[in-house]
Structure 1
Amino acid sequence: MIGIIAAIDEEINFFIKNTNVIETIKDNNVVFYHLRKENKDIILAKSGAGKVNASMTATKMIDKYNPELIINTGIAGGLKPAEVGNFVIGNKLVYYDVNMSSHRSKHQHGKVRGLPLEYKSDSTLVAKFHKFFNERKIPNLVGTIATGDYFVKSSTYLENISKEVTNILAVDMESAAIAQVCYLHNIPFLSIRAISDIITINYKDEEFALNIKNVCGELGKQILEYICSI
C-alpha cells in the first residue's frame, strides 16, 4: 500500500474524485481515505496544515497502515528558477525555522539536535519521478524543499537556512516534518510539490488563490498515473 499525505482539501480532491473510495476513517483531526485505482491500493490522508499536523499524520499512517512508501504532495511557494505550474521533486528536505542555538551552545540553523540537517528523499523515487515527468515533457525540477510554520512571502525568511543548504526551490509547511518521521521509521519518502506562487519582493497574494486548484489537479493526475504504472 502506498501512502499519500496532503494538508488541505484542494490537495486531495483529485485523488478522491478519480479513484474508488473503499473506506473513509476519521481519527480526531486526521481523515484517512482507502482508495483503489487499477488494483493499486492507496491510503490518502488529509493532515491539516503545519509541521505538527503533518508529523502526527505520518506517525498515525505508519502505525495504522505500514505503507511501503509515503509521498507528500500539494502546493508550495517557489523560488527561481522554479515557475508557477512547475513540479518540484524534493531530493532534500530542511527546516528553515528551527534554531537550537543558545548562549551555551551553537548548533546549525535548521538542525534538530541529534538528527540530520537535511532529510533525503528516497533516491530511487526521485529518479523515477524525474524520468516519468521528463518523458511526458512536464516541467519539473529536483532540489531542496524548505519547511516551516510561516506563510512565506519573502526570501528573507530563508536567509539563515540558505547559509547552510543550497538549491532551495520551494517552501512549504509539511515536507520536512513528514520526512523526519519517515527517517525515524525507516520508511521510503518523497515530497513532490506544485508551485502555486513565486516568492519575490513583489509577491502577489492573489497568485496563490488563483493557481491552487489547477496546479493541485495536474499534480494529482500525474502522481496517480505514476502509481498505476508501477
Structure 2
Amino acid sequence: MAPPPNEDGTTNQQDSTNDQHPPISTIVIIIAMQTEALPLVNAFELTEDANSLFPKGTPWVRYHGIYKGLNVNIIWPGKDAVLGVDSVGTVSASLVTYAAIQSLQPDLIINAGTAGGFKAKGACIGDVYVASEVAFHDRRIPIPVFDLYGVGLRRGCSTPNLVKELDFKAGKLSTGDSLDMTPQDEASIIANDAVIKDMEGAAVGYVTDLLKVPAIFVKAVTDIVDGDKPTSEEFLQNLSAVTVALGKAVTRVVDYIAGKSVSEL
C-alpha cells in the first residue's frame, strides 16, 4: 500500500523505505566457547535463561537482554555432558543455530569466535575479520557436483559500510572439524582462497542460508596456521588476550547495528 499523501499532495518516500527495511530488532550471537562468550555477556549485561527454550537434556545456554534497543541473545552450545569441555565444532554449531532461529526468529545472526590465520594472506595475531564467504575444507567428495556440495560455499551478509566504518579486515573463512591442518585440508583451504580457518562458521552459514536469515561472521585471530609454532600451543597462549579483542570488536559491531536495517550495513 502506498503511503498517504502529505498536505501538499506529495508522499513521504522515506517512510515507505523504512517500512520495507525496518531496523534490526532481534539478534542472535552464536559463539562456541564460554571463554569467548562471557566478555560479551558482561558487556551487554545479559542474564542467563533460567528456563531453557531448548529441548530437555541439551546443554545449550542462552544469555539475553536489551542493549541499545536491541533484543540481544548469546547462544553458547555449553559443555559436553561426559567430558566437560566446550561443545565446539560443526555439529553443535549447526544444531544451536537451527534451534535459536526456530525459537527466537532473529533478524540477524552473528557468528563470533576465534580463528587461525594465514600469514601468507596477511593475517596477524589479534586481527579481526568479517568473513565475506564461508566454506568447508574437510568434506571431500570427489564426485562431480557432490564436490561442490562438500565445499558448501555460502556468502555472508553484505556489510561494506560496517567493515569500512569499524576498520575491520575482510576475507574468506574456511571451516573444518579439526584444530590441526592435514595436507589435504591445506590444499582445500588454498582452493577456498581462505584467510582464516575455524570450526563453526560454514556450519552456521549453511543453516542461516537454509532458513534465509542474514548472517555476519566476526573472527579474531589466535594463531598463525602457517607459522612456526604448533597451533594448539599458540591458540592456548593467545586465547585470553584475543578473546578480549573479540569482545571489543563484537561490541562495536552491535553498537553499529543499533537503529539500522540490514540493508544499511
TM tier relative to shorter chain: 0.7 to 0.9
TM-score (norm 2): 0.75
2:72 matches 1:42:
yes
Q: If you compute each CA radius of gyration, which structure gives the higher value, 1 or 2?
A: 2
When the two chains are superposed, the root-mean-square deviation of aligned CA atoms in Å is 2.0
Contact map agreement 1:99 1:110 (CA 8 A) in 2: no
Q: Superposition pairs for residues 12-51 of structure 1, below 5 Å?
A: 12-24=37-49, 25-26=51-52, 27=54, 28-47=58-77, 48-51=87-90
Helix, strand or coil for the counterpart of 1:97? coil
Q: Partner of 2:34 in structure 1? A: 9
Q: Which has the higher strand share?
A: 1
The superposition leaves residues 179-216 of structure 1 with CA deviations (integer Å, 9 ceiling, x where unpaired) of 00000000001111000000125233332112111212
Partner deviation per Cα, 1:125-171 (whole Å, 9 max, x = no partner): 3x13311322xxxxx321110001111256652203423x32x1111
Structure 2: tracts of 5 or more residues without a match: 1-25, 78-86, 259-265
Deviations 1:27-81 (A, max 9, x none): 3121111132233221110023110100000000100001101000110011121
Residue among 74, 94, 106 paired with 2:144: 106
Measured in 1, the distance between the counterparts of 2:145 and 2:252 equals: 42
Cα 1:156/1:203, change in 2 over 3 Å: farther
Counterpart in the other structure of 2:126: 85
1:185-224 residue pairs with structure 2 within 5 A?
A: 185-200=211-226, 202-204=228-230, 205-224=232-251
Query: Where does the alignment leave 5 or more consecutive residues of structure 1 unmatched?
Result: 135-139
Report the count of equivalent residues: 215
Q: How high is the sequence identity, in percent, across the aligned residues?
A: 25
CA distance in 2 between counterparts of 1:15 and 1:77 reads 21
Aligned-partner residue type, residue 196 of structure 1 = T
> Is the alpha carbon distance of 1:110 and 1:35 closer, same or farther for their aligned partners in structure 2, counting shifts above 3 Å?
farther
Residues 77, 196 of structure 1: 8 Å contact kept: yes
**More deviation in 12-21 or 181-190?**
12-21
Matching residue of 2:91: 52
CA contact (8 A) 1:121 1:189 kept: yes
Note the 1:20-169 alignment, pairs <5 A. 20-24=45-49, 25-26=51-52, 27=54, 28-47=58-77, 48-80=87-119, 81-101=122-142, 105-107=143-145, 109=147, 111-112=149-150, 117-123=152-158, 125=159, 127-134=160-167, 140-153=168-181, 157-163=185-191, 165-166=192-193, 168-169=194-195
